[in-house]
Chain A
Amino acid sequence: MMRYRLLSPLLLGGLVALAPTLAGAVGVVRGTVVLPEELKAGRRFLGHWRVENTTVPVQAAPARGDTVVVLLGPKPQVLAPKNTPIEIVGMQANPSTVVVGEGAVVEFRNSDKVSHDLSVPGHPEIMPPERLSPGTVRKQRFGISGEYLVRCTEYPHVVISVIVTSSPFFAAVDEKGGFKLPDVPEGPATLKVWSNGRWVHEQSVEVTPRGLDVTLKVSGAANPTEQ
């Protein structure tokens, strides 16, 4: 009995260690996204003036999670749909970008003291305008792959990016631009960067069993593909 008790964890650990090998080689894709200044400004809508004060240094814009890296592999993969919550508080959405599978339901919760009129402009069939009163939740299903910008009519700076994809490999970029995609099957793949409501970068990569470390430099002149 004692021998079985000692062997069981070893056996289980060995199976876990061999699982990727049995299923095929996988690796970790990690890297850094270098955004141009205009994408790091932190403002979508500028007024006439934006000048620094002369007393204290200006702080960098906080990362709001609106830059996401998505890896699209050659092998067909399915991202299971699940409910994804988004909270609107302090006149901003958190997170401001979500990646969901086809058929997923996104829950919009309004924690502000003001109402928000949310919709996908130009696609009422996807998400028609509807007033979201303070403290209420709106659940919206996204059944078709694509990229959708959910906007608030009253407060246009409130923009929520909903990326509906079948790829389970995606990650939000941190304040330093780093990201990490674990358990990526080996083989050719495409890395795409979503930031400020549009695809700003796309790069083909070859994922090896040892993993991949890339630096994605987003050009300022990148072709905006805002949806």
Chain B
Amino acid sequence: MFLSKIWFILVALLAGVAVTAAFVAPRPADRRIEQLEGQRLDRAQYAAEQMLKNDARRWIDYVAKLGRDSHLTEALDSSSRGAGEPKALHETVRSRLKALVPDRAGIGVESLIAVDKQGRVVARVGDDEGEYGESLAGAEVVGDALRGYLSDDVWGAAGRLRRVGAAPVTSKSRDRIVGAVVVAVDTGKRLADMWKRNLGVDVAIVLGRNVVSSTLPEALLGQLPELIEQHATEIANHKRTRPLILYMGNERMLLIAAPFVGEASEQRAYYVLLNKQSPGSDPWVLLSNASSDDLRWGHFPWMPLAFGILAMIGVGLLLQRTEVEGPIRRLRTEVHSLARNEIQKIDDTKYGGKLGGVARDINATVERFTHAAPPKSEMAKKDIAAILDRGGSADGQSFDVSRAKPTPPTPAPNPASVAASLFGAPKLPPSVGVTPTPVSVPSLPAPSPQAKAAPTASVNRTLMMPNLRSPIETTSSNSGEFAAVSASALIEAPSPPPLRRDLTPPPVPTSTAFAASVATPKPSVRLAPVDENAVHFQQVFEEYIALRIKCGESATSVAADKFFAKLRSNREQLIAKYNCRSARFSVYVKDGKAAIKATPVRS
């Protein structure tokens, strides 16, 4: 079992390691992918910033070129000097601007504005074309142009974002500034689409808490302004964010936000580059993304996997067979042998772990039922010991007559005279009994029906237990109780070994058998016609003497009269003590010596 347990632990550890690896192993790759995607967004952001800068310069140059148009120069000069009708100048300049920029929408220009030296709008193309006359001198990019700078800016007004470029318009003589031309360029869907094409990432443009434009569904970007707002300090310090993660529905987006320059930066205007992140490292997500091609024979190590699984199963089964099934089979075999009395005990040293414990338990149980006599029987045996003036044996089940109190060194009593003295018959002359003569077997009176019934009724119900050394005697033959322990139950065997109930009464020696058994000289006892107990006592005495002779013990040391008296008194004690009808005595061999045991008879 030990190796099986170790194997199970190893398999569990292996499974744990596999699960851990399944969850952890993709993490470094995930981080690496995220890092690479972040770097990619970094490069895209840098490229976007450069594109914004180049665009700004391009638009500045564009309006500077427009400002060199002579018609515009003259009109703005006139307006600056206050010469000419404003409306007429407005029409002239507007027409000229339209002529100069025929495909305004095609190139992404939202509006073109021409202002005079005072910053007043002379004409505009695009938004509010009919409006003119108001001053834009306060706008920084316009003021810069009127001072001689070519510059750009980003305006965020009315929910729109516009990149602005402005350039001064000088007089024909090139000695003074007579006005400026301002261009406002679309910074919305057009820019986002262009960046997506050029950079390969999605783009969103945020103004304040609104997504102005995006290549993604704007409804899914509701959390984007708030996310950027949370990193406003980082943006202010570094002009961009580190790669951030935005959950857009079920998709995970990696993004970098950077501010627009100019006034729009004060209005929290940002451009955001987004890239759909690769699926997470969750094994379930990875598995859900696996295709059937991934499980193709050449792409998946089917053979090593199969060999590994089979090896694990094989080792497990082998260990199971070696450590569990085999020992159980052997134990069952031994239990069966024990039940058949082929062995005295199970060799529990052959079994380890719990099976060894079961074997030891079986042995202990057998030991207990073998040596532990029921209390009543034990009491009876003790009485017998008292009868014979011997100490009870260690187990209280038998009596060693040889260890009886030594009788006086008197000539061996004649069994017959002993019996006569016991049962009231006239004593024989000592010479009769002293001379060893062939024993004349007395003709014993036939036992009365009660006497016959008694042995039958008090038959030893012997349970042939597995690994029992000897039959277990019941203390009360008629009680129907059996001191039986199912050894098979201890090992949970499906079919416990059958219990053999030996109901055959112990052989009651008949006079013939007794005569045959007592072939050697033995004391003869003549019995007076007494009750059945006398017959029984006589039988017991004769059997006991015969058994002692058979066991090589002295038969002369037993005083018959005392023997009978003790049996009688013991019988009375048993009846008084256990309220039984009678008591039966039997002889048997204990440790190579004759012994007697008593059994109460209740019915």
B330 at the binding interface (Cβ < 8 Å) = no
Chain B residues with CB under 8 Å of A93's CB are 138
B388 touches A (CB below 8 Å): no
Q: When chains A and B are docked, how far (Å) is the Cα of A45 from the Cα of B146?
A: 17
CB distance from B381 to the nearest CB of A (A): 109
How many A-B Cβ pairs are below 8 Å? 116
- Min C-beta distance of A168 to chain B, whole Å: 30
Taking a contact as CB atoms under 8 Å apart, the answer to whether B149 and A53 are in contact is yes
Complex-state Cα separation, A157 to B155, whole angstroms: 10
Q: What class of interface size applies to chain B in its complex with A? A: 35 or more
- Decide yes or no whether B508 CB sits under 8 A from chain A: no
Chain A residue with Cβ nearest B120: A90
Residues of A within 8 A of B142 (CB): 91
How far, in angstroms, from A52 to B177 measured CA to CA in the complex? Answer: 12
Instruction: Determine chain A's interface SS by DSSP, over half rule.
Output: loop
Q: How far is the CA of A91 from the CA of B146 in the complex (A)?
A: 14
Docked complex Cα distance between A62 and B147 (Å): 9
Provide the bound-state CA to CA distance between A30 and B594, in Å: 146
Residue pair B52, A90 in contact (C-beta under 8 Å): no
Does B154 sit within 8 A of A, measured CB to CB?
yes
Bound CA span A56–B169, Å = 10
A156/B263 contact (C-beta < 8 A), A51-B149, A51-B151, A52-B149 known:
yes
**Which residues of chain A have C-beta atoms less than 8 A from B157's C-beta?**
154-155
Kindly identify which residue among B135, B141, B167, B262 contacts A90, using a CB–CB cutoff of 8 Å: B135
Least Cβ distance of B516 to chain A in Å? Answer: 130
Decide: A48 near B138, CB < 8 A? Known: A53-B170, A113-B131, A153-B267: no
Contact residue among A42, A47, A57, A92 (Cβ-Cβ distance under 8 Å from B262): A47
Interface positions, chain B 134-169, Cβ under 8 Å from A, are 134-144, 146-154, 157-158, 164, 167-168
Contact of A91 among B56, B138, B265 (CB under 8 A): B138
Contact of A44 with B140 in the complex, beta carbons under 8 Å: yes
CB <8 Å contact, A157 and B267: no
Write the chain A residue with the least CB distance to B59: A49
- The answer to whether B170 and A46 have CB atoms under 8 Å apart is no
Docked-complex contact B57 and A48, CB < 8 angstroms? yes
User: What is the distance, in angstroms, from B240's C-beta to the closest C-beta of chain A?
Assistant: 15
Q: Is B266 in the interface zone, CB < 8 Å from A?
A: yes
Kindly state whether residue B60 has any CB partner on chain A within 8 Å: yes
Q: Which of A49, A61, A91 contacts B152 (CB 8 A)?
A: A49
Note all chain A residues with C-beta closer than 8 A to B144.
42-43, 50
Give A153 to B174 CA distance when docked, in angstroms. Answer: 38
A112 at the interface (CB under 8 A from B): yes
* Given A47-B154, A53-B170, A156-B267; A58-B148 close (CB under 8 Å): yes
With beta carbons under 8 angstroms apart, the residue of A42, A113, A155 that contacts B134 is A113
B151 CB contacts on chain A under 8 angstroms: 43, 46-47, 49-51
Interface string of A140-162 (1 = CB under 8 A from B): 00000000000101111110000
Tell me if B598 is interfacial: C-beta within 8 Å of chain A. Answer: no
Residues of B within 8 A of A223 (CB): none
Q: Does B331 contact A (CB under 8 A)?
A: no
A121: nearest chain-B partner, CB-CB: B266
The one of A45, A90, A112 in contact with B140, judged by C-beta atoms closer than 8 angstroms, is: A45
Query: What sequence of 0s and 1s flags, for each residue 390-408 of chain B, a beta carbon within 8 Å of any chain A beta carbon?
Result: 0000000000000000000
Q: Decide if A55 touches B262 in the complex (CB within 8 Å).
A: no
Q: Which of B52, B139, B141, B150 contacts A53 (CB 8 A)?
A: B150
Taking the complex as formed, is A8 at the interface, i.e. its CB lies under 8 A from any CB of chain B?
A: no
Among A42, A49, A93, A113, find the residue whose CB has the most chain B CB atoms closer than 10 A: A49
Are A59's CB and B135's CB within 8 A?
Answer: no
Q: Once the chains are docked, how many angstroms separate the CA of A90 from the CA of B136? A: 5
Contacts of B265 in A (CB 8 A): 45
Q: Does B294 contact A (CB under 8 A)?
A: no
| Whole-angstrom CA separation of A156 from B176 in the bound complex | 30
Q: Which residues on the B side are within 8 Å of A154 (C-beta)?
A: 157-158
B103 at the interface (CB under 8 A from A): no
Residues of chain B from 266 to 324 with CB closer than 8 A to chain A in the complex: 266-267
- Partner of B150 from the list A51, A62, A90 (CB cut-off 8 Å) is A51
Find chain B residues with CB under 8 A from A18 CB.
none
A126-179 interface with B by 8 A CB criterion: 151, 153-158
Return chain A residues, CB-CB under 8 Å to B146. Answer: 59
Q: How far is the CA of A162 from the CA of B253 in the complex (A)?
A: 44
CB-CB < 8 A to A7: which residues of B?
A: none
B255 CB–A CB distance under 8 Å: no
Please tell me if A80 contacts chain B, counting CB pairs below 8 Å.
no
Given contacts A46-B261, A48-B52, A91-B138, contact A53 B154 (CB under 8 A): no
Q: Which residues of B contact A52 (CB under 8 A)?
A: 148-150
A89 proximal to B (CB < 8 A): yes
Considering the complex, which residues of chain A in the window 38-95 have a beta carbon less than 8 Å from any beta carbon of chain B? 42-53, 55-62, 89-93
B53 on interface, CB distance cutoff 8 Å: yes
Partner of A157, one of B140, B147, B174: B140
Residues of A within 8 A of B267 (CB): 153, 156
For A61, list chain B residues within 8 Å (CB): 143, 147
Question: Of A47, A89, A92, A158, which is within 8 A of B153 by CB?
Answer: A47
B175 CB–A CB distance under 8 Å: yes
User: Given A59-B148, A156-B267, are A45 and B153 neighbors across the interface (CB < 8 Å)?
Assistant: yes
Q: Which of B88-142 contact A (CB under 8 A)?
A: 119, 131, 134-142
Q: Across the interface, which residues of A come within 8 angstroms of B154, CB to CB?
A: 47
Instruction: Take A42-B143, A90-B136, A154-B157 as given contacts and tell me if A56 and B175 are in contact as well, using a CB distance cutoff of 8 Å.
Output: yes
List of B residues within 8 angstroms of A53 by Cβ: 64, 148-150, 167-168, 170
The minimal Cβ–Cβ distance linking B124 to chain A, given in whole angstroms, is 12
Give the shortest distance, in Å, between B263 (CB) and chain A (any CB).
5
- Decide yes or no: A45 and B149 within 8 Å by CB, A113-B134, A155-B157 being known contacts: no
A157 near B170: Cβ-Cβ < 8 Å? no
- In the complex, the 4 A-B pairs of residues with the closest C-beta atoms, listed nearest first: A92-B138, A90-B135, A91-B138, A58-B148
Give 20 CB contacts A-B under 8 Å: A43-B143, A43-B151, A45-B140, A45-B153, A45-B266, A47-B154, A49-B53, A49-B56, A49-B57, A50-B149, A53-B168, A56-B175, A58-B148, A90-B135, A91-B136, A113-B131, A153-B267, A154-B157, A155-B138, A155-B263
Residues of A at the B interface (CB closer than 8 Å) are 42-53, 55-62, 89-93, 112-113, 151, 153-158
Chain B positions near chain A (C-beta within 8 angstroms): 52-53, 56-57, 60, 64, 119, 131, 134-144, 146-154, 157-158, 164, 167-168, 170, 174-177, 261-263, 265-267
